[in-house]
Amino acid sequence: MLFYYTATGNCLYVAKMMEENPKSIPQELKKAKLEYKDDIIGIVAPIYAGELPKTVRRFIGSAKFEANYFYMILTYGNRDSVAGIWSYNYCYSNGIDMNYIQTIKMVDNYLPAFDMEEQIAMDKKEDEQIKIAIENIQKRVHFIPSPTKEGIAAYKMVSQRFHEHPEMNNGESIIMSNRCVGCQICKQVCPIGNIKVIDGKAKRKNKVCDFCLACVHHCPFQAIDLVTDKNPKARYRHFGITLKDIVKSNDQGEKEL
Ligand SMILES: Cc1cc2nc3c(=O)[nH]c(=O)nc-3n(C[C@H](O)[C@H](O)[C@H](O)COP(=O)(O)O)c2cc1C
Ligand code: SF4
Ligand code: SF4
């Protein structure tokens, strides 16, 4: 059994390479009872500021798992920081003793700092990394990455930056522009159901959200702006993942927050 959370498709791509029918965390969270039992259970999630996205934390905190082997794959774009040990500790404090954690470097979808044209042009050899992770999981390898000096320094730097500028990490820097044509796509790709289209214009219910950037990346009219945007013309979706896949993963219907 494998769970995933995705905004731009990296984690879904990894999850699909590992299992035929991985389960979307935003869809699972709609269920009243979150109890899972299997021989092997895995979670694929992106690294956000060296930690886990809020919705992934909510899932881990509210579900009950029973497995003989538990693994986590963390995708990232630039620095995996202390995400391995941070996630291990977070899972442990929620009753899961993780056996294997692997980080996988892919396109960095964090628009305030990265140009998607440059990111897409880089070959980060993601398939090779995924292959190694799959082999290790098949062999039931036990491995939790130890924090490195560089990782700790990167985590401290990012934590300080987001402490001073929380809007760069919490959704407050998203601007819904009047270029919106009301197509509803941003609403359908938001994993927490935070967007509504009212009188033909998309509006966010709460200014603070996961800041997953799915709405910004997938808007076909580039009608969602960011206060800081490295290249406002460049957006990203993983080459192996369709918009339909993202909608299927994240659509929350008419859910009220
Ligand atoms: C809010 C936010 C914070 C991020 N923080 C980090 C980070 O600390 N280190 C890193 O290397 N990548 C970071 N990223 C990049 C993503 O982890 C990476 O692109 C991931 O593979 C995206 O997965 P997805 O396509 O499944 O959404 C961040 C992205 C976002 C949106
Ligand atoms: S995806 Fe873009 S154009 Fe479509 S409703 Fe959302 S903001 Fe408007
Ligand atoms: S509003 Fe946009 S950035 Fe915030 S959680 Fe929804 S899709 Fe992600």
Task: Return the closest-CA partner of residue 47 out of 135, 154, 139, 128.
Answer: 154
Q: Is 49 in the pocket of ligand 1 (CB under 6 A)?
A: yes
- Fill in the amino acid letter for 62: S
What's the confidence (pLDDT) of residue 254?
A: 80
Shared domain for 65 and 131, answered yes or no, is: yes
Shared domain for 155 and 184, answered yes or no, is: no
Q: Where are the alpha helices (DSSP H) in 139-213?
A: 149-164, 167-170, 185-189
Q: Is 106 in the pocket of ligand 3 (CB under 6 A)?
A: no
| pLDDT digits 0-9 by tens, 178-192 | 999 999 999 999 999
Q: Is 202 in the pocket of ligand 2 (CB under 6 A)?
A: yes
Shared domain for 120 and 178, answered yes or no, is: no
Domain around 19: 2-163
Task: Return the closest-CA partner of residue 216 out of 1, 2, 50, 7.
Answer: 7
Judge whether residue 257 has pLDDT over 50. no
Shared domain for 152 and 42, answered yes or no, is: yes
Judge whether residue 1 has pLDDT over 60. yes
| pLDDT digits 0-9 by tens, 11-65 | 999 999 999 999 999 999 999 999 999 999 999 999 999 999 999 999 999 999 9
Q: Whole-angstrom Cα distance, residue 162 to residue 168?
A: 6
- Fill in the amino acid letter for 139: K
Shared domain for 21 and 100, answered yes or no, is: yes
74 assigned to some structural domain = yes
Can you read off the two tokens belonging to residue 49? Answer: 């500021």
Q: Is 70 in the pocket of ligand 3 (CB under 6 A)?
A: no
> Any idea which ligand is nearest the CA of 22?
1
Query: Percent of the chain scored above 90 by pLDDT?
Result: 98
pTM surpassing 0.85?
yes
Can you read off the two tokens belonging to residue 126? Answer: 């993601």
Shared domain for 210 and 241, answered yes or no, is: yes
| pLDDT digits 0-9 by tens, 61-83 | 999 999 999 999 999 999 999 99
Which protein residue's CA is at the shortest distance from atom 8 of ligand 3? 212
38 vs 168: which has the higher pLDDT: 38
**How many domains are contained in the chain?**
2
What's the confidence (pLDDT) of residue 133?
A: 98
Using CB atoms within 10 Å of the CB of residue 68, give its burial: 0 to 12 exposed, 13 to 18 middle, 19+ buried: exposed
Residue-level length of the chain: 257
